[in-house]
Amino acid sequence: MDPAASDSRAPDLAVVIPVLNEAPNVAPMVECLRAALGDIAWEAIFVDDDSTDGTREAVAAIGRQDTRVRLLHRVGRRGLASAFVEGALASFAPCVAAIDGDLQHDETLLPAMYAALTEEGYELAIGSRYIAGGGLGEWDRTRAGMSGFATRLARVVLKVPMSDPMSGFFMLRRETLLAALPRLSAIGFKILLDVVASLPAPPRIKELPYQFRTRSAGESKLDAGVLRDYLMLLADKVVGEYVPVRFLMFAAVGALGIALHLVVLRLSLGLLTAHFGVAQSIATAAAIVANFWLNNFFTFRDRRLRGLAMLKGLAIFALICSVGAFANVSVAVFLFSPVVHEAWWLAGLSGAAMSLVWNYAVSSLFTWRSWRRA
């Protein structure tokens, strides 16, 4: 083992590296940190979201030789933002950096970030792609356009004082993170935006330019879920103090379910000439299945159920909803009388609305529990 590969000093800098199936990049990342950080007392905390490609084994093999390399293994939780928070809180280092595990960030910028915090009095140092000297690398026009739009949206909605609020490459003081912690949303990928929007006062920020690199190994984690998480984060920062954003998402899915409910109800009454109680039951069942699928894909994406777990989840969700459905059908049948026969939609809508809060509260606890595997 290289005598310089380990350091018995208490770390002054913790580099948090969220990873998911990044095994080929683990050793190169550690070598990059060793070369870049020089005499700084540092530690690297790999936060692994239950990878299946040997990422944890790769980290452990290095960690047994270099005590500065640590592993935090998470099961049943996903997301870069929450991974960073948990990794940062697992260290006592006074400065904490976030860097992706795919080698696309420029680790040679870390010493300058560290100097900005420890010597220049800044609270936050950010690697920016949108100031002179920075760039998006080989991104295509579509991805660059989406990033630019998301950046402008963050500035307008949250009024954050940064050129690159979407950056995942930054360093901050521990006390700055702790000040933001009570209001953190920890949703999705954009923890920097979350931190700055959660602070009681704008921090002193230094932005440093860097060129975004092309991934050399592994697969990108960007998909439609990233957009969903980003919009949920913005919504949470705007209204989350008053209404849980996940409930709003659940309610939006519920609204779609109500629309489906009314369509199926009308078809059952008209085409099938079914008794109203039977038609309402059919419509309710269709809405339950649709709501489960949409909530599994959108509302509880970070706890998403797959395979057999999804079938079990559907059964639990249906059981939970059956309580609300009983009230749903009972209320609707009661309201559907010869006096209001033409207002079939009002009777159906009234019954469907009865179960929204119950379904959200109980399904959050039992269908998509936080310990379930995503």
- The mean-pLDDT minimum among 22-31, 195-204, 227-236, 328-337 falls in 328-337
Identify the pLDDT of residue 241.
66
What confidence tier does 207 reach under pLDDT thresholds 50, 70, 90?
very high
Which pLDDT score is estimated for 213? 80
pLDDT at 345 over 60: no
Q: Are residues 262 and 281 in the same domain?
A: yes
Average pLDDT score over residue span 87-108: 93
214 pLDDT above the threshold of 50: yes
pLDDT of the residue at 3: 43
Of 265-279, 281-295, 313-327, 331-345, which range is least confident?
A: 331-345
Please tell me the predicted confidence (pLDDT) of residue 358.
Answer: 67
The predicted pLDDT at position 44 comes to 97
Between 23 and 346, where is the model more confident? 23
What is the Cα 256 distance to its own chain's centre? Answer: 23
What number is the average pLDDT over the span 362-367?
76
Question: Is 374 within a domain?
Answer: no
For residues 329 and 235, membership in a common domain is answered with: no
Tell me whether residue 372 is in a domain: no
* 209-218, 293-302, 353-362: least confidently modelled range: 353-362
Number of domains in the chain: 2
Domain that holds residue 299: 245-366
Of the pLDDT bands very low, low, confident and very high (cuts 50, 70, 90), residue 26 is very high
233-237, 286-290, 300-304: the lowest-pLDDT one: 233-237
In a domain, 316, yes or no: yes
Query: Could you tell me if residue 346 is inside a domain?
Result: yes
Assess if residue 134 is contained within a domain: yes
Let me know if residue 371 belongs to a domain. no
Q: What is the CATH number of the domain that holds 62?
A: 3.90.550.10
Is residue 217's pLDDT more than 50?
yes
Q: Is 125 part of any domain? A: yes
Residue-wise pLDDT for 302-328, tens only, equals 677 888 888 888 888 888 877 766 666
Residues 39 and 73 in one domain: yes
pLDDT at 349: 60
